[in-house]
């Protein structure tokens, strides 16, 4: 048992690092390499190699991948500062809101036209996958272009953070709707009333507010007391436990665990663990790094693993993927209208918001595991098409952004 | 699924750190606190709390605990230097050899007298659990007493490292014997001939030699090439993969995976990853710390979890535990005879070798999971008695060592 487990982990880590390196050298974000390596490993069956097929149904690997997503969102939360989030300019907020609403509507429409047999929850998941801009990928590209300090970059990054948060709230609402539909007998997606929708929105808002307010208050106190412990590893252990407990709570109230993980990360600030820093411990980001660098790629590799290349042999699926990609790009171009300042290149803003990433993948992954009336919300082919869209939007952004920046 | 998993992990981490802190303040090694917390959590049923009972049979938790043991032995291997190991004085080697042979024989005799219904493999496992001195616990106690630089301390530490290695070889042979007995139909323990014993000894010796020689050669080359990769996390990823692959190989050739993990750790030396250090990466020990500080305690807590306090209600079990503890202490007193130098306090040597620890627990844990002819090699009560012995030897060493050092 343990032999297979460690070999699989070693294989995934090697694949992730090699894939990341390869794509990094091609000027692409490493996360794309992890996805591509996953696609490769998951489709070895095409070459007659079936040794990895059992991984497809491994409950253990699924849990590890989900913990990877939880740690990723926690890390993103730790790196984003609550005050900075609140101080994000009105432009960023407007850009973000437009950038969520437009792709959501467009995605819903495309999905309901091309997948008429699916329920409205499916269309909602397709739309939801299109909403969130990838902070990580955008930031990395802007930095690589040496444009991280332009006004455009600041607006894009602020908006990307904001629409990650909005995306998480959307995810909380949508997954709450599915849970509610499942609880009401699972008898089709139509059985969720406006009352329960409202209740989920209120619950999500309440949870996030409480997590941030109560979490901030408590985390400070807990850290002060924990700093009195002398046993090694208290800081990193405490941070992870904090993340795990808040995400479990968010799971128990019917929201996605990653929502709680992000909230936990946002709450945690360096002042809280100042006593640990004073006795020479490293920063939380540094302590988390060896853990996240190993577990987070499991999530991306396994997401790629689940892409079924054979499904792209169907023109219908390819057409859906192509159309949803066009919609993903077009939907974010409206963002430029949200900019209030003068002298800002609105095209740059629109292009900079194109890449979808972690949150989109989490959306798609969740949609493909939630089962309603015996069928997954997102069928395997729809899932594959959405992952392809996420990869394509990420692939085209770096060269496109370079072109529009240089055009001026 | 993932909600329960993260909650359980958080619970184990909090319990481990609190237990470690508590025992640390009482002047005991923190690992004892982790064991005790595990005993507490595993016996909550006595107080009518049964919420944690499902953890007893969790395959996932068992794999995580085993990975914890693998990482622990890897870490011990990384911290011990091959050349230092080879340069260990003859005194240390003699002390170690005597300290393995005497407890092994005494343990075998006690087990065969008190557990007449069990097979000879059971006696071998009981004896084996008594062999290895805990390097970690001994080193910690000597350091706390401020005696880490005495001649006695150097001999004890050298011998503790040496008999950990000897203990691992014994474990390799004993677990190989069980595998061989299982392969030969599992029809009782008597079915293993001298031929297969010899084959296992040869295999263990061959594997360790090959792992060290080939591993050393290859690890250097792999690290030089890997250092050309620019994606973050290559060093820690590579180290873990190296550890995982070597331990899987050791599992596949019929040895315990931890044997391979230790070999991998010994092989890995700072010169190999010098190129990484030069570009400012931290030492492997530091990179491993956040991971081991979270996963290794899972192993100890789960070992304690499996101790059934109810079994100690039987005078026979308590008697067995008491006798095996006496034998564990007495068996190491012969060690003093192995000292070749003059002016060394032989009583200090004998007392310093008393604590059993990680390798003993791994022995006991493996014996309780290996099943032969439908029964585990070590019954739950025998397992509990052995864990009690390990805890007792560890508890008595710090005060005893203080007394014998101050007596002079």
Question: A242-270, pLDDT tens digit by residue?
Answer: 999 999 998 887 677 877 888 888 888 77
Question: How close A131 comes to chain B (CA, Å)?
Answer: 25
Q: What is the band of B190 on the pLDDT scale with cuts at 50, 70, 90?
A: very low
| Candidate from A99-113, A280-294, B149-163, B353-367 with smallest mean pLDDT | B149-163
Q: What is the band of A169 on the pLDDT scale with cuts at 50, 70, 90?
A: confident
Percent of chain A with pLDDT over 90: 22
Question: How close B247 comes to chain A (CA, Å)?
Answer: 8
Where is B332: in which H helix or E strand? helix B315-333
Mean local confidence (pLDDT), B322-331: 94
Helices marked H in A145-193: 151-183
**Average pLDDT of chain B, as a whole number:** 84
| Candidate from A109-118, A218-227, A294-303, B183-192 with smallest mean pLDDT | B183-192
Does residue A391 carry a pLDDT above 80?
yes
Are B257 and A3 within 8 A, CB to CB? yes
Does residue A129 carry a pLDDT above 50?
yes
CB pairs under 8 A between A and B: 154
Please state, in angstroms and rounded to a whole number, the distance separating the CA atoms of residues A395 and A391. 6
Nearest CA to B258 among B65, B390, B389?
B65
Are B287 and A290 within 8 A, CB to CB? yes
What residues of B are in contact with residue A66 (Cβ under 8 Å)? Answer: 1-2
Closest chain B CA to residue A257: B3
Q: Is B217 exposed, middle or buried (0-12, 13-18, 19+ CB in 10 A)?
A: exposed
Percent of chain B with pLDDT over 90: 22
Q: Please tell me the number of Cα atoms within 13 Å of A255 on its side-chain side.
A: 32
Closest chain A CA to residue B21: A231
Does residue B13 carry a pLDDT above 90?
yes
Question: How close B349 comes to chain A (CA, Å)?
Answer: 28
User: Distances in Å between the alpha carbon of A402 and those of A93, A153, A351?
Assistant: 24, 13, 10
CB crowding A86-103: b at 16 or more within 10 Å, else e: eebbebbbbbbbbbbebb
Closest in A5, A9, A236 to B294, CB measured: A236
Question: How close B1 comes to chain A (CA, Å)?
Answer: 7
Does residue A187 carry a pLDDT above 60?
no
| Candidate from A323-337, A362-376, B8-22, B135-149 with smallest mean pLDDT | B135-149
The pLDDT assigned to B330 comes to 93
User: What six digits make up the tokens of A139?
Assistant: 């930031």
Does residue A212 carry a pLDDT above 50?
yes
Q: What is the band of A188 on the pLDDT scale with cuts at 50, 70, 90?
A: very low
Are A17 and B247 within 8 A, CB to CB? no
Please state, in angstroms and rounded to a whole number, the distance separating the CA atoms of residues B215 and B245. 11
**B63 touches B369 (CB < 8 A):** no
The pLDDT assigned to A166 comes to 79
Mean local confidence (pLDDT), A230-241: 89
Are A288 and B291 within 8 A, CB to CB? no
Identify each DSSP E strand in B225-284 by its residue range.
none
Mutate: best of B2, B223, B255, B296, partner A, most A CBs <10 A:
B2
Nearest CA to B230 among A299, A393, A33, A36?
A33
What residues of B are in contact with residue A18 (Cβ under 8 Å)? Answer: 229
ipTM for this model: 0.81
Mutate: best of B231, B235, B236, B289, partner A, most A CBs <10 A:
B231
The pLDDT assigned to B355 comes to 86
Does residue B315 carry a pLDDT above 60?
yes
Closest in B3, B237, B288 to A248, CB measured: B3
Please state, in angstroms and rounded to a whole number, the distance separating the CA atoms of residues A232 and B13. 12
Where is A375: in which H helix or E strand? strand A375-376
What residues of B are in contact with residue A293 (Cβ under 8 Å)? Answer: 232-233, 236-237
Please state, in angstroms and rounded to a whole number, the distance separating the CA atoms of residues A266 and A247. 13
Closest in B6, B59, B66 to A247, CB measured: B6
Q: What are phi and psi for residue A371, nearest 5 degrees?
A: -115, 130
Spatial CB neighbours of A8, under 8 Å, sequence gap ≥ 6: A55, A58, A61
Nearest CA to A359 among A63, A133, A159?
A133
Mean local confidence (pLDDT), B19-45: 88
Q: Is B116 exposed, middle or buried (0-12, 13-18, 19+ CB in 10 A)?
A: exposed
Please state, in angstroms and rounded to a whole number, the distance separating the CA atoms of residues B322 and B310. 16
Closest in A6, A230, A290 to B21, CB measured: A230
């Amino acid at each position: 048992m343990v032999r297979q487990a460690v070999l699989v982990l070693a294989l995934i880590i090697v694949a992730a690092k090699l894939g990341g390196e390869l794509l990094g050298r091609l000027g692409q974000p490493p996360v794309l390499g992890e996805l591509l390596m996953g696609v490769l490993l998951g489709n070895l069956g095409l070459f007659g190699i079936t040794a990895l097929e059992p991984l497809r149904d491994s409950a253990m690997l699924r849990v590890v991948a989900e913990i990877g997503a939880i740690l990723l969102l926690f890390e993103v939360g730790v790196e984003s500062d609550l005050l900075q989030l609140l101080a994000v300019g009105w432009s960023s907020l407007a850009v973000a809101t437009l950038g969520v609403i437009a792709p959501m509507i467009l995605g819903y429409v495309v999905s309901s036209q091309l997948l008429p047999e699916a329920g409205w929850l499916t269309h909602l998941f397709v739309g939801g996958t299109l909403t969130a801009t990838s902070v990580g990928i955008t930031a990395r590209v802007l930095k690589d272009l040496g444009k991280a300090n332009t006004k455009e970059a600041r607006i894009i990054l602020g908006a990307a953070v904001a629409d990650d948060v909005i995306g998480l709230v959307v995810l909380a609402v949508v997954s709450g709707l599915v849970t509610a539909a499942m609880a009401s007998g699972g008898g089709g997606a139509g059985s969720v009333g406006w009352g329960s929708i409202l209740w989920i929105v209120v619950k999500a808002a309440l949870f996030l507010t409480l997590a941030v307010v109560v979490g901030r208050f408590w985390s400070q106190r807990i850290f002060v007391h924990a700093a009195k412990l002398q046993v090694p590893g208290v800081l990193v252990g405490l941070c992870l436990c904090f993340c795990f407990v808040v995400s479990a709570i968010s799971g128990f109230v019917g929201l996605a665990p990653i929502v709680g993980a992000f909230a936990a990360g946002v709450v945690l600030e360096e002042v809280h663990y100042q006593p640990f820093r004073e006795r020479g411990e490293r920063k939380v980001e540094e302590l988390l790094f060896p853990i996240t660098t190993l577990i987070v790629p499991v999530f991306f590799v396994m997401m790629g693993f689940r892409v079924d290349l054979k499904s792209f042999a169907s023109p219908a699926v390819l057409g859906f993927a192509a159309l949803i990609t066009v919609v993903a790009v077009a939907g974010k171009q409206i963002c430029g209208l949200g900019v209030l300042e003068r002298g800002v290149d609105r095209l740059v803003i629109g292009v900079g918001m194109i890449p979808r990433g972690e949150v989109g993948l989490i959306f798609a992954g969740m949609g493909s595991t939630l089962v309603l009336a015996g069928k997954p919300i997102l069928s395997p082919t729809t899932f594959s098409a959405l992952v392809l869209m996420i990869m394509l939007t990420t692939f085209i952004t770096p060269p496109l952004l370079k072109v529009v920046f240089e055009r001026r």
